[in-house]
Amino acid sequence: MLNGLDRNSFESLEDCWGRLERTDKPIYIYGMGNGSEKLLGLFRRMGISCKGIFASDDFVRGQSFCGYRVEKFSDVMQDSRDKLVVLGFGSSLDEIMRRIESIEDRYELVIPEISVTDKGYFCRQRFLDLYSKAQRAYSLLEDDFSRRTFECITAFKITGQGRYLRECFCDEQEAQSLLQLGSREMYFDLGAYRGDTIESFVARTNGQYKSITGVEPNRRNFKKCVQNTGKYPNITLYNAAAWNVQTQLLFSAGAGRQAKVSEKGELVDTLTLDSIAQNGCTYVKYDVEGADYEALAGSIKTIRKYSPKICAALYHKPYDYFLLPLMINKINSDYRFYLRQSRYYPCWETNLYCVPR
């Protein structure tokens, strides 16, 4: 059991990277894609040997991945030889989550915390170096469940053990209820994707709101967003990236969470929340795939002037879950902070809910 945010408790936990370096079990990665590529890169840097790659049976058709012949999930699970499995992707689908948990029943499973948007990863020593900042963020949290969530997420990030994460899973609808959305909301969706969060907002407010503004840089997703949400009244959509200044940047239009501001890609316009919320803002959502600090820096005037309710994604980079709350608190200290973790392996969909006092 953890003992609050006690430094000694975290120092006593086995670091997942150290575990991978020390194990004498053959290591297999479950999954193909960007996450597994990042893992293999980290393995090479740390001198960790990978025995093989496997994937769900439906995806295996004799192909190879990064020089490995991809094995079937069912074949690996029927193999009686002991092994250590490392998860190389993320999912919130019930069937996939049950499959991941079935691995734990048979073999040792490690779920390392690697950055969604760059090559970074969670390092226990780096966390301890930043411990005073983690303590400050922890002290801002409003309720016991938020503090418990913070403790469990930290333990999970250090150990890669799914049991810690399961202790703090919560229902997304219950988490959203913290915002207490009303019928006069002026909603700004930064990272509108294909309009799913706009549609959820409309459903939660029973279609009673003042205005909706969506910002989405990916051109393909933007077109889908227009198609999916153009039916709603009082809605304005921008094909742009939320940033700290108005300019143009290169944007890599990768699939899903790999879409981000990058060193290569197509030029996109950027805008700031401050530039589009001059007439007011009561609620803003940040899910901008790694551009969170820049988007917040472009929101300072709005957050200070209007104290909007905030839902901010805290999972794009390994230490966002305490660094971003500190940034918001520095901009405007008149908030109650709630931390919630939706059902997901690894701890993606970690969100901060900020409610003005």
Which CATH number belongs to the domain containing residue 59 in this structure? 3.40.50.720
Amino acid at 194: R
Q: Are residues 193 and 308 in the same domain?
A: yes
State the average pLDDT over residues 308-313: 98
The verdict on residue 327 lying in a domain is: no
Single out the residue of 104, 67, 112, 59 nearest to residue 86, CA to CA.
112
User: What was the pLDDT predicted at 1?
Assistant: 46
State the average pLDDT over residues 342-352: 96
Q: Are residues 189 and 97 in the same domain?
A: no
Question: In terms of DSSP H, where are the helices of the chain?
Answer: 7-12, 16-22, 34-46, 73-78, 94-106, 124-129, 131-140, 144-159, 162-166, 172-176, 196-204, 219-229, 273-276, 292-297, 300-306, 320-331
**What pTM did the predictor assign?**
0.94
Q: Are residues 108 and 15 in the same domain?
A: yes
Q: Are residues 105 and 195 in the same domain?
A: no
Q: What are the backbone dihedrals phi and psi of residue 203, each rounded to the nearest 5 degrees, phi first?
A: -65, -40
State the average pLDDT over residues 231-243: 97
pLDDT digits (tens, 9 = 90+) for 196-223: 999 999 999 999 999 999 999 999 999 9
| Domain's final residue, options 62, 95, 112 | 112
User: What was the pLDDT predicted at 253?
Assistant: 63
Q: Are residues 304 and 202 in the same domain?
A: yes
Distance CA 122, CA 312 (A): 20
Domain residues for the domain of 43 are: 9-112
Q: Are residues 294 and 218 in the same domain?
A: yes
State the average pLDDT over residues 180-186: 97
Q: Are residues 191 and 303 in the same domain?
A: yes
Tokens 């597994």, residue located: 36
Distance CA 311, CA 149 (A): 16
Distance CA 89, CA 256 (A): 12
Which CATH number belongs to the domain containing residue 229 in this structure? 3.40.50.150
The verdict on residue 304 lying in a domain is: yes
pLDDT digits (tens, 9 = 90+) for 79-112: 999 999 999 999 999 999 999 999 999 999 999 9
Percentage of residues in the chain with pLDDT exceeding 90? Answer: 88
- For residue 230, pLDDT over 70 is answered with yes
The verdict on residue 270 lying in a domain is: yes
pLDDT digits (tens, 9 = 90+) for 12-43: 999 999 999 999 999 999 999 899 999 999 99
**Per-residue pLDDT band at 254 (split at 50, 70, 90):** low
**Per-residue pLDDT band at 263 (split at 50, 70, 90):** low
Q: Are residues 104 and 191 in the same domain?
A: no
Q: Are residues 193 and 96 in the same domain?
A: no
Q: What are the backbone dihedrals phi and psi of residue 71, each rounded to the nearest 5 degrees, phi first?
A: -95, 160
